[in-house]
Amino acid sequence: MAESKSIDDAGQAAAGPPGPRTWRIWGLDFDARIVQIVTLTTVILILAFNNRFLEAAYDRFVLEFIIPVAVIVLAWHEHPGRYGLTLGDWRRGLPIAIVGIAVMAVVIWVVGRQPDFRQYYTESIAGRPAWRLIVDTAVDLFAWEFFFRGWLLWALGRKYGTDAIWLQIVPFALMHVWKPEIEQLSTLLGGAFFGILAWRTKSFLYGWLLHWFMVAWVLVVAAGYV
């Protein structure tokens, strides 16, 4: 069976200079970048889950976008475009996002009216008007998609190639465990789809557009605004 290709082998830009290649910890050698990305990812997700500093969407924007970009630029001395913060292959990504929006509009119209969805999402709406739900969700999902399908995907991809698409699904799925069961189960398919889309387009933006629509639409439907 052919092995997964690295980013360089696949003809894509590498995720920049690796910095210190190896850290020795307790007599064992580790890839320094993998230690850094796993440690930072774990700390950021725990902080995002357990704390509310301002509002959830804007807390996560700082934790899941501003901090990773600062690490990329200031600590790793790389360009954020190497981590999906670019338009990439928009000719491929934009049509996929548009078709996905059309399909999910129908799916969510049905699923979003189920009692467990209504109960969960009505509580999270907290009386916000529809326009506020759309704006807050845009900010939240921008950070979310960059975190998983930008920063984490491409940092892991430097070492593991396309297998990084499957590795990023694990923390992505775990951040859904308190949501309705059908949504928990959907994270495997959804995480793989968004990961492949980001890899093929070299951008997280098209997954963000689709994911933003999906979450904003389910909130609007569950709240009874439409």
pLDDT per residue as tens digits for the range 90-145? 999 999 999 999 999 998 887 767 777 777 777 777 677 878 888 999 999 999 99
**Sequence-ordered alpha helix ranges (H) in the chain:** 32-50, 56-61, 67-70, 90-111, 115-125, 130-146, 153-160, 164-167, 169-174, 181-201, 205-222
Contact 62/141 with Cβ under 8 angstroms?
A: no
Q: Whole-model pTM?
A: 0.84
Number of domains in the chain: 1
What is the predicted pLDDT for the residue at 173?
87
Residue 10 domain-assigned (yes or no): no
What is the Cα–Cα distance from 155 to 37, expressed in whole angstroms?
7
Residue pLDDT, tens place only, 190-201: 889 999 999 999
Within 13 Å, how many C-alpha atoms sit on residue 176's CB side? Answer: 18
Average pLDDT over residues 79-88: 95
Q: Which of 146, 121, 134, 160 is nearest to 41 (CA)?
A: 146
Element (H, E) at 22: strand 22-25
Whether residue 74 is contained in a domain is answered as yes
Please give the residue that has the higher pLDDT: either 164 or 130: 164
Is 88 a domain residue? yes
How does residue 2 score in pLDDT terms, banded at 50, 70 and 90? very low
47 to 7, 40, 70, 99, 175: CA distances (angstroms): 31, 11, 17, 35, 12
pLDDT at 12: 43
Examine residue 1 and state whether it is found in any structural domain, yes or no: no
User: Is the residue at 41 inside a domain?
Assistant: yes
The secondary structure of residue 79, as a DSSP letter, is: -
Q: 55 lies in a domain?
A: yes
- Provide the pLDDT for residue 133: 84
* Contact of 38 with 164, CB cutoff 8 Å: no
* Domain span holding position 187: 22-222
